[in-house]
């Protein structure tokens, strides 16, 4: 009986069970369990072909592989999967639970020139076939210099060091790890991709098998095509031994007919369902993560000491105004205060490009709120890799919802600077379109490049309209609502009056902007180690799921950005420089410059296999978009903290 036809009380009970599964144990990826009986048919699925050398995904069936008997059917894809270029299709690979067998799939027609060229290109670009069984990616193990290395997927083909010929992988040895399951009277059956499916009820305990591992050992075998064409799909064969001599491999050349076969072995395992993703999410170099946090804590405490001294001195100075001191001491204190005290009539003067500053601060709050909530949810286990595209989909939804916060902050800051709510609609519109517009321009240019390459990473035109709908029908209205609320909020009053004529800023022996840009090295020092792991997960096809560490690093980054900006702002006020607004923003926002430079260094030294102008353009464009988002979010933290500091400083000190 289907789930939707069950009474309401049963559905509520099932939802409680599912929530308990997700909540318990901090993380249970792929919590929707699917059990199988002996000889139950299980079909694998195939994802897009990927390569760390080009970063251009392509459809599995763009190569002359065997097709399913019922035709190619695409799996339901969410927004995140489409944006990441995932294209999950059904495949002809059929397994029967606990049945070890060797199966013949098909023999291709003679390869033509185009197919040979495509196979050779995909082989030499080290493209991987990504296969999925019961929502588990296929895993491959290899030994290099005595070290066991784990990979997801298997290569399209093999090119020997001499490079004289290319050979296709046409035989796969699958090992499926299963765990015997004994359930209770109510059992939830489904998959991580499809969600809830069936409820099985009964008084007796149910039993079956759970798939807890999916491994493959690929090889190339040259078959006699005349013999193989007499077989039919899913005919049983005798066991096959993978050859070690190149002359027994299946070469890729014109008029060659390629036969595809596979064998499967089911192995009982002690791995339980909640732990089946542990092999994929194994946290490597945990000491490095802890070192990153320790390094960040040192920076935090160092800057905190400086900030504490600043506040301690200002508070002491304020108190001395009310104490009876001799004239000599009074004169000495006033002499010390003369630096920032002289800019009292200019410290809250409207900055240049004030409208742009308000918009960037609003967008920064929106991005920071989206990132913070996303990382918290991911750390709690609600955005696991088992639900493909869920992380990116969640980020987009949270960004859209946070539009109300962006509008509110932008308009309220505009009211504070201008003293009026006039032109608030323009501010709200700019806040709704500034960062999304930058992202849209970059992604549109990249999309034309991907379309020209026939990559599945290209966004279909229908998705463009969906993104426009989400942008203008959800994000923009929410931003306008937030802006309207900002006009109704209590206005922030300046503690001092602004003079009509601006004070002349004394000449300096050094460029203050160099100091501002150099200040970004401290926030960058708190995140660069974790940033390395993030880049590796994005561009080297690795799973990243240490969101607990990332959450701690984010908190430390926010603290460091706030401290750096306060220190730089105080230094500029002490040298009578009242133009602190933009410098407070870029003191912490300049970390984006180092993030982008580090991305280039990572490209040169860690992505040496990445080749081609298209791949380099994709990498640099995505890195630039990431740097802009980091600049807005970190700059906003620094500016808001500096604004609070300046407001507190001049409101708590009595100025004659």
pLDDT at 28: 40
Low-confidence ranges of the chain (pLDDT < 70): 1-32, 145-146, 183-206, 282-292, 295, 311-340, 508-510, 652-656
CA–CA gap between residue 156 and residue 85 (Å, rounded): 18
CA–CA gap between residue 628 and residue 131 (Å, rounded): 35
Burial (Cβ within 10 Å: 0-12, 13-18, ≥19) of residue 439 = middle
pTM for the whole thing?
0.83
pLDDT at 650: 81
CA–CA gap between residue 129 and residue 325 (Å, rounded): 81
Annotate 109-138 with DSSP letters as a single string: PPP-HHHHHHHHHHHHTT-EE-EEETTEE-
Tokens of 612: 């081609």
pLDDT at 643: 94
List Cβ neighbours of 604 (8 Å cut-off, separation of 6 or more). Answer: none
DSSP 8-class letter at 169: -
Domain edges within the chain: 40-184+204-280, 285-319+354-491+510-652
Tokens of 329: 């001491």
Residue 505 phi/psi, 5° resolution?
Answer: -90, 130
**What distances in angstroms separate CA 26 from CA 287, 378, 394, 548, 555, one per listed residue?**
21, 10, 19, 11, 20
Tokens of 619: 């990498």
Per-residue pLDDT of 564-585, as tens digits, reads 898 888 888 888 888 899 999 9
Residue 376 · residue 555 · CB < 8 Å:
no
pLDDT at 329: 53
Residue 318 · residue 654 · CB < 8 Å:
yes
Question: 3-class DSSP state for residue 530?
Answer: helix
Tokens of 532: 């390395």
pLDDT at 18: 36
**What distances in angstroms separate CA 158 from CA 49, 105, 161, 165, one per listed residue?**
15, 21, 10, 9
Helices in 285-384 by DSSP H: which ranges?
286-320, 327-341, 354-379
CA–CA gap between residue 236 and residue 271 (Å, rounded): 30
List Cβ neighbours of 147 (8 Å cut-off, separation of 6 or more). Answer: none
Annotate 394-448 with DSSP letters as a single string: HHHHHHHHTHHHHHHHHHHHHHHHHSS-TTHHHHHHHHHHHHHHHHHHHHHHHHH
For CA atoms 237, 238, 239, 242, the dihedral sign is negative
Residue 198 phi/psi, 5° resolution?
Answer: -135, 150
pLDDT at 421: 84
Annotate 576-639 with DSSP letters as a single string: T----HHHHHHHHHTHHHHHHHHHHHHHHHT-TT--SHHHHHHHHHHHHHHHHHHHHHHHHHHH
CA–CA gap between residue 228 and residue 223 (Å, rounded): 7
Q: Which of 316, 356, 352, 353 is nearest to 336 (CA)?
A: 316
CA–CA gap between residue 626 and residue 164 (Å, rounded): 41
CA–chain centroid gap for 155, Å, is 25
Tokens of 65: 């592989």
Per-residue pLDDT of 108-132, as tens digits, reads 999 999 999 999 999 999 999 999 9
CA–CA gap between residue 524 and residue 360 (Å, rounded): 20
Helices in 489-590 by DSSP H: which ranges?
512-518, 521-539, 547-574, 581-589
Question: 3-class DSSP state for residue 178?
Answer: strand
CA–CA gap between residue 241 and residue 224 (Å, rounded): 15
Q: Which residues of 113-144 are buried (b: 16+ CB within 10 A; e: fewer)?
A: eebbebbbebbebbbbbbbbbbbbbbbbeeee
């Amino acid at each position: 009986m289907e789930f939707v036809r069950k009474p309401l009380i049963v559905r509520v009970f099932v939802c409680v069970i599912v929530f308990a599964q997700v909540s318990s144990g901090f993380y249970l990826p792929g919590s929707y369990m699917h059990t199988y009986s002996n000889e139950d048919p299980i079909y694998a699925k195939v994802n897009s072909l990927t390569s760390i050398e080009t970063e251009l995904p392509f459809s599995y069936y763009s190569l002359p592989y065997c097709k399913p008997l019922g035709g190619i059917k695409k799996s339901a894809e969410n927004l995140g999967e489409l944006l990441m270029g995932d294209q999950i299709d059904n495949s002809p690979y059929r397994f029967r639970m606990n049945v070890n067998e060797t199966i013949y799939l098909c023999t291709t027609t003679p390869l033509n020139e185009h197919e040979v060229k495509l196979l050779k290109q995909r082989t030499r670009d080290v493209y991987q076939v990504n296969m999925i069984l019961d929502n588990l990616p296929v895993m491959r193990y290899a030994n290099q210099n005595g070290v066991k290395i784990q990979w997801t997927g298997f290569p399209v083909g093999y090119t020997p060091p001499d490079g004289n010929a290319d050979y296709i992988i046409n035989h796969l040895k699958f090992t499926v790890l299963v765990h015997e399951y004994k359930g209770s009277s109510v059992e939830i059956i489904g998959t991580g991709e499809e969600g809830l499916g069936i409820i099985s009820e009964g008084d007796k305990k149910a039993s079956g098998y759970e798939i807890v591992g999916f491994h493959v050992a690929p090889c190339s075998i040259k078959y006699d095509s005349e013999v193989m064409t007499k077989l039919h799909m899913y005919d049983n064969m005798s066991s096959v031994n993978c050859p070690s001599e190149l002359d027994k491999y299946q070469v890729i050349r014109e008029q060659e007919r390629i036969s595809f076969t596979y064998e499967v072995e089911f192995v009982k395992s002690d791995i339980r369902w909640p732990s089946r993703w542990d092999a994929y999410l194994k946290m490597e170099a945990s000491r490095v993560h802890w070192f990153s946090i320790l390094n960040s804590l040192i920076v935090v405490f160092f800057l905190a000491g400086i900030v504490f001294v600043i506040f301690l001195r200002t508070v002491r100075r304020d108190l001395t105004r009310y104490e009876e001191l001799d004239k000599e001491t009074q004169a000495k204190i006033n002499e010390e205060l003369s630096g920032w005290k002289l800019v009292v009539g200019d410290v809250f003067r409207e900055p240049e490009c004030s409208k742009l500053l308000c918009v960037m601060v609003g967008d920064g709050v929106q991005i920071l709120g989206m990132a913070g909530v996303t990382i918290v949810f991911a750390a709690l286990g609600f955005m696991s890799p088992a639900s493909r595209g869920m992380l990116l989909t969640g980020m987009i939804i949270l960004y859209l919802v946070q539009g109300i916060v962006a509008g509110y902050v932008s308009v309220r800051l505009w009211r504070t600077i201008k003293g009026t709510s006039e032109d608030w609609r323009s501010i709200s519109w700019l806040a709704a379109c500034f960062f999304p517009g930058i992202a849209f321009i970059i992604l549109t240019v990249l999309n034309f490049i991907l379309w020209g390459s026939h990559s599945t990473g290209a966004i279909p035109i229908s998705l463009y309209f969906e993104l426009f709908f989400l942008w203008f029908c959800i994000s923009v209205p929410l931003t306008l609502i937030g802006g309207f609320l900002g006009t109704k909020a209590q206005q922030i009053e300046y503690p001092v009056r602004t003079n009509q004529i601006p004070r002349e800023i004394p000449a300096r022996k050094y460029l203050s902007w160099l100091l501002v840009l150099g200040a970004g090295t401290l926030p960058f020092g708190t995140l660069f180690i974790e940033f390395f792991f993030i880049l590796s997960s994005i561009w080297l096809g690795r799973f990243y799921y240490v969101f607990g560490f990332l959450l701690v690093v984010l908190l430390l980054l926010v603290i460091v950005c706030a401290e750096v900006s306060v220190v730089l702002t105080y230094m500029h006020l002490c040298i009578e420089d009242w133009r602190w607004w933009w410098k407070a923003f870029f003191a912490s926002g300049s970390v984006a410059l180092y993030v982008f430079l580090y991305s280039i260094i990572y490209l040169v030294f860690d992505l040496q296999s990445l080749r081609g102008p298209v791949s380099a353009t994709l990498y640099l464009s995505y890195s630039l978009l990431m740097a802009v988002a980091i600049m807005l979010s970190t700059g906003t933290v620094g500016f808001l903290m500096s604004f609070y500091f300046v407001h507190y400083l001049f409101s708590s000190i009595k100025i004659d």
